[in-house]
Amino acid sequence: MKRLVLARRETTTRGGQPLAFLVGLVFALVVGAILLRITGDPVLDVYERMWDRSLGSQNTWSDTFNRAVPLALAGLAVSIAATMGLWNIGAEGQIMFGAIAATFVGRLLPDAPGLVLIVAMLLAAALGGALWSFGPAVARSEIGVSEIITTLMLTEVASRLIVYLEQGPWKDPDGFGFPGVTPRPDQAELGTLWERTHIGVLIALAVIIGFAWYLRRSVWGYELRIAGSSEKAAAFAGISVRRKVLGVLLVSGAVAGFAGGIELLTTTTGKLNVQISNGYGFAGIIVAALALMRPSGVAAVALAFGALQVGGQAIQTNPGVSPAVATILQGLVLFGAIGAAVFSTYRLRLVDRQVAES
């Protein structure tokens, strides 16, 4: 008798991660097809529609690109913290607070020229994100409170804060009594590059390339790597782990907040609301994980996820297809990719039942 066991590979396969991602994608599509089959939806039609709406034409490419921007920036935020082994899983809340800060500046300078206002609002967004991660950062660096809990919990606080602003101090006087924040000044809108693709795509790409380069080449990035390697090694090199923890969480928050600023400057309604972060902060964790926590990898993964989300949204308008399909597919990609990644460390082997059981 033979049976299958999972045995650890003595050497891990190199370059396995992009492959694992592709396997995850295929796995998601196959399992997704089975699910659609069970619910009685036309599999090929649904997939075709997803493709058409995300990558099928130049026009839809715009949606995918635009969608990839917050995903990539959130992924970047998570991966920056991860260079030191820290988990910022509250990028969602930092995105919201970044948008709040940007809205605040918009209300403060309603008549400023467009460019000035845009720059000021984006800076405010980054500062806001950093401010939102300040508490967790200090708690972690000074008394060792896990940043995982605190960053996550502050997300809830940020969303309640937006609800409060919508109904209270920032309520739109022209909103016919409905709750809602006054839209940003009209001149504060990021322009487009082509079709609906907005300039935020270029800005995000520059930010990602900048960070990937800076982390690799700078003293700061080097010190983060040493500090993340081991506390003793950092002490040996004369690096204060406490200050690095503080710094890296603030920067991570700033990047997430910046994503909130971009979102605010590109939404069609121009309004701050709880949907502004739209799950990007959480999806960013997945993006960063699939990019192996490397800042240089988040753009590509975010693009694939953007396509999946945009395509998934399109099929929701198709009568009969559950809106959950898109979410399920995203989950399956991660599931499949992680499953496939296991095989870069483990392999299946047929062994004698006797030995396996003995």
Which residues would be at the binding site for another protein (CB under 8 A)?
5, 7, 10-11, 214, 217-220, 222, 225-226, 229-230, 232-233, 235-238, 349, 351-352, 355-356, 358
Closer Cβ to another protein, 47 or 220, answer by number: 220
Least distance from another protein to the Cβ atom of residue 239, Å? 9
Closer Cβ to another protein, 181 or 248, answer by number: 248
DSSP labels for 228-258? Answer: HH-HHHHHHHT--HHHHHHHHHHHHHHHHHH
Length of the chain: 358
Least distance from another protein to the Cβ atom of residue 245, Å? 17
Least distance from another protein to the Cβ atom of residue 339, Å? 21
Q: E strand or H helix at 32, and its extent?
A: helix 16-39
Spatial separation of the C-alpha atoms in residues 169 and 156, rounded to whole Å: 19
Closer Cβ to another protein, 34 or 355, answer by number: 355
Closer Cβ to another protein, 11 or 268, answer by number: 11
Q: What residue type is 319 in one-letter code?
A: P
Spatial separation of the C-alpha atoms in residues 37 and 33, rounded to whole Å: 6
Residue among 300, 289, 303 at smallest CA distance from 66: 303
Closer Cβ to another protein, 269 or 354, answer by number: 354
Cβ neighbours for 357, distance < 8 A, ≥ 6 positions apart: none
Closer Cβ to another protein, 5 or 116, answer by number: 5
Closer Cβ to another protein, 43 or 356, answer by number: 356
Q: What residue type is 118 in one-letter code?
A: I
Least distance from another protein to the Cβ atom of residue 225, Å? 6
Residue among 155, 96, 123, 127 at smallest CA distance from 276: 96
Least distance from another protein to the Cβ atom of residue 214, Å? 8
Instruction: Tell me the two tokens of residue 245.
Output: 């923890």
Residue located via tokens 């400057």: 265
Residue among 306, 307, 255 at smallest CA distance from 69: 306
Neighbours of 15 (CB within 10 A): 8
Least distance from another protein to the Cβ atom of residue 13, Å? 11
Distance from the first to the final alpha carbon of the chain: 13
Least distance from another protein to the Cβ atom of residue 20, Å? 20
Spatial separation of the C-alpha atoms in residues 306 and 63, rounded to whole Å: 8
Residue among 249, 219, 253, 254 at smallest CA distance from 142: 249
**Between the CA of residue 353 and those of 3, 4, 358, what are the distances in Å?**
6, 9, 8
Closer Cβ to another protein, 153 or 235, answer by number: 235
Q: What residue type is 40 in one-letter code?
A: G
Residue located via tokens 């003793």: 232
Least distance from another protein to the Cβ atom of residue 347, Å? 11
Least distance from another protein to the Cβ atom of residue 221, Å? 9
Displacement of CA 206 from its chain's centroid (Å): 16
Closer Cβ to another protein, 123 or 351, answer by number: 351
